[in-house]
Structure 1
Amino acid sequence: MASLDADSLFSNVPLFRTIDILKFVYRHSVLPLPKLPENILKDMLLACTSEAPFRCPSGNLFVQKDGVAMGSPLGVLFAQAFMAHVEEEAIKYLHTRPILYRRYVDDIFVC
């Protein structure tokens, strides 16, 4: 039995890798095709995450280099997509499947 936690997930989500993961919606067999072309969606996601400046309490202006800024509406989407991808990749290499596996955003319980 184990409890796992991804440390500071939102601010550590790799933006470019996660945007590539999100492209699955264009190749999904059940989901309807998005109305936006793939390159436009990618550009919009990049603009909303990698080019979004923020002010710290002292008034200095910063641009986050990687990860999603805390409080960003895209934070949960990016965190869920990245964690689901990591899960999928990790499960491929398991010799024995866990009896119980549950995840809520970045907290995992496995038995």
Structure 2
Amino acid sequence: MINGRDHPTETIAEIVENELSENVRNLPTYIKDTTDFLNKLNAIQQPIPVNAIMFCLDETKLYPSVPRKEAREACKTALENRSDTSIPTEDVLKMMDLVIENNNFSFNGKHFLQTEGTAIGSHLGMNYACTYLGQWEENLFQNSNLHPFSYWKYVDDIWGIWEHWLDESKNIFQ
């Protein structure tokens, strides 16, 4: 894992994250903050099924684990659907590639280059990872007959209510 703070590409990373922010805010699973989460909890359809269980998940090592090819495709789709395209999609993608492909650092006198995901602490992290996960979740739920009763996410923290058998949940959330 690489700490991306104070990296020469940080200003470019901020621009890309900003361009991806609209997509993340519009994801159906998006939680803005604690107040938003509490409002969503309050609005849960009642009654909750008797056999339902509440679950919490944490995506471990999210930033360095995001597959770059799939993330780039998800980001491209998101960027093409922005309401403000004053910075052309191809230009934003070039900036994103510059940041992602130059996550480098030195340790013990040796130089290393991160080849997957993005650096921890980089300004290109949260919206990049959330855009990828949003697309991944959309594909998951489109290809499954089972869906959570409720499901929301704040970056890598997931909360939901599952009303199917526990064994079935293991197949969905592995």
Tell me the TM-score normalized by structure 1.
0.81
Alignment of 1:1-111 (within 5 A): 1=53, 2-28=55-81, 31-56=82-107, 58-111=108-161
Aligned counterparts of 1:43 and 1:32: Cα–Cα separation in 2: 20
The question of whether the paired residues in 2 share the 8 Å contact of 1:15 and 1:50 is answered with no
Amino acid at match of 2:80: R
Provide closer, same or farther for how the CA distance between residues 32 and 85 of structure 1 changes in structure 2, counting only shifts above 3 A. same
The question of whether the paired residues in 2 share the 8 Å contact of 1:54 and 1:61 is answered with yes
Amino acid at match of 2:143: Y
The question of whether the paired residues in 2 share the 8 Å contact of 1:15 and 1:66 is answered with yes
The question of whether the paired residues in 2 share the 8 Å contact of 1:101 and 1:110 is answered with yes
Provide closer, same or farther for how the CA distance between residues 6 and 81 of structure 1 changes in structure 2, counting only shifts above 3 A. same
- Residue 80 of structure 1 deviates from its aligned partner by 0.8
Report the RMSD for the aligned CA atoms in angstroms: 1.9
Amino acid at match of 2:67: P
Aligned counterparts of 2:149 and 2:103: Cα–Cα separation in 1: 42
Larger Rg: 2
- Residue 34 of structure 1 deviates from its aligned partner by 1.9
Amino acid at match of 1:75: G
Aligned residues: 108
Aligned counterparts of 1:26 and 1:71: Cα–Cα separation in 2: 22
The question of whether the paired residues in 2 share the 8 Å contact of 1:11 and 1:66 is answered with yes
Task: For residues 55-103 of structure 1, give each alpha carbon's deviation from its aligned partner in whole angstroms, at most 9, with x where no partner exists.
Answer: 23x3432110111011111011211111111111111133243222121
Stretches (4+) displaced over 6 A: none
Amino acid at match of 2:158: I
Task: For residues 6-44 of structure 1, give each alpha carbon's deviation from its aligned partner in whole angstroms, at most 9, with x where no partner exists.
Answer: 22111011123212211124432xx32422333322221
Name structure 1 gaps, 5 residues minimum. none
Percentage of matched positions with identical amino acids: 26
Amino acid at match of 1:92: Q
Aligned counterparts of 2:146 and 2:68: Cα–Cα separation in 1: 31
